[in-house]
Amino acid sequence: MSDWRNIWKKSIATCQKAIGNRNVEEEFSALRNSVDDVFKNDKMIDFEEGIAYECIGEFDKAIEIYSKVSSPEGLPVKHWRNRATFFKERTELKKNGKIYADNFADNYVTLDHDEDSTLEKIQWDAFYYLHSFIYIPSHIQYLAISSMARIDSEPEMAILIFRVCLEDIIRIMYPNEYEDNKKTLGPLIVKLFNDGILFTKGNNKKLDNDLCMIIKERGDNAAHGNVFDYSNIFISDTIIKFIDMMKLAEANIWLKKTSKR
């Protein structure tokens, strides 16, 4: 792993911890003190710190950091500065109460935007939203966030990694079933669903509409090179379904953790 990716991975893990305990300044100070001097002022660390502040509702601090990292002296790559600008503008709107529902999918009315702009909004809100999950294991969260950052340019790779995230979540959440059955992901999902324990199972819900099965099948298509139209609408729909699946997994993991206390 490159030094840049390693710093980013550590920053994501620090962001997750800081959101969980709401000690953003303390956690990021510890991260900066733990890395080599050349990385102490890395702007990606700053960007992740801004996301942490936004996640806990400290919008002024988030806006201040986003302003710095989106400036010409901020993040070294232009498209990341543009993303930081998007975060800053969105946070300013949130601060003023002008946009954004609590439900991720409710923020988008496709008819009000062209397909490119709708995908951008969904992609970067999903990138932000993934940071808010404090119970999803950090290595899965890093894979999901990293893939979300490039799904517009490399959708097959990103959707395949979404499938990998799903498999690892199921392995962690249902270790006995995962080990005892020695099944591949498809049959394992079917068994967990039929046994009534899969975390996406709902009332009167058909298996072919299950979020886990949709992410699994779309990942398989990407992995096997099946002919598929990776339109902006398809990518947006996949992102929304992936986020919904992650929300359900986060809630289920929280229940498992709290029930043991």
Q: What is the pLDDT of residue 66?
A: 97
Classify residue 110: in a domain, yes or no.
Answer: no
Tokens 């959101």 belong to 19
Q: What is the pLDDT of residue 110?
A: 47
Q: ∠ CA 80-81-87 to the nearest 5 degrees?
A: 90
Q: Is there a single domain that holds both residue 149 and residue 243?
A: yes
Please report the DSSP string for 83-118 in residue order.
HHHHHHHHHHHHHTT-S--SSGGGG--GGGS-HHHH
Q: Is there a single domain that holds both residue 145 and residue 89?
A: no
Question: What is the span of the domain harbouring residue 83?
Answer: 3-100
Q: What is the pLDDT of residue 205?
A: 67
Q: Is there a single domain that holds both residue 87 and residue 143?
A: no
Indicate the number of domains in the chain: 2
| Contact residues for 93 (Cβ-Cβ < 8 A; gap 6+) | 99, 100
Which of these, 137, 207, 138, 124, lies nearest to 175 by C-alpha position?
137
Q: Is there a single domain that holds both residue 204 and residue 251?
A: yes
The neighbour count for residue 78, using CB atoms within 10 Å, is 9
Q: Is there a single domain that holds both residue 143 and residue 242?
A: yes
Q: Is there a single domain that holds both residue 201 and residue 90?
A: no
Classify residue 180: in a domain, yes or no.
Answer: yes
Classify residue 70: in a domain, yes or no.
Answer: yes
Which regions in the chain score pLDDT beneath 50? 109-111
Classify residue 133: in a domain, yes or no.
Answer: no
Q: Kindly report, residue by residue over 10-64, the tens digit of the pLDDT.
A: 999 999 999 999 999 999 999 999 988 777 788 999 999 999 999 999 999 999 9
Classify residue 107: in a domain, yes or no.
Answer: no
Q: Is there a single domain that holds both residue 148 and residue 85?
A: no
Q: Is there a single domain that holds both residue 173 and residue 224?
A: yes
Q: Is there a single domain that holds both residue 149 and residue 199?
A: yes
Classify residue 80: in a domain, yes or no.
Answer: yes
Q: Is there a single domain that holds both residue 153 and residue 79?
A: no
Q: What is the pLDDT of residue 136?
A: 96
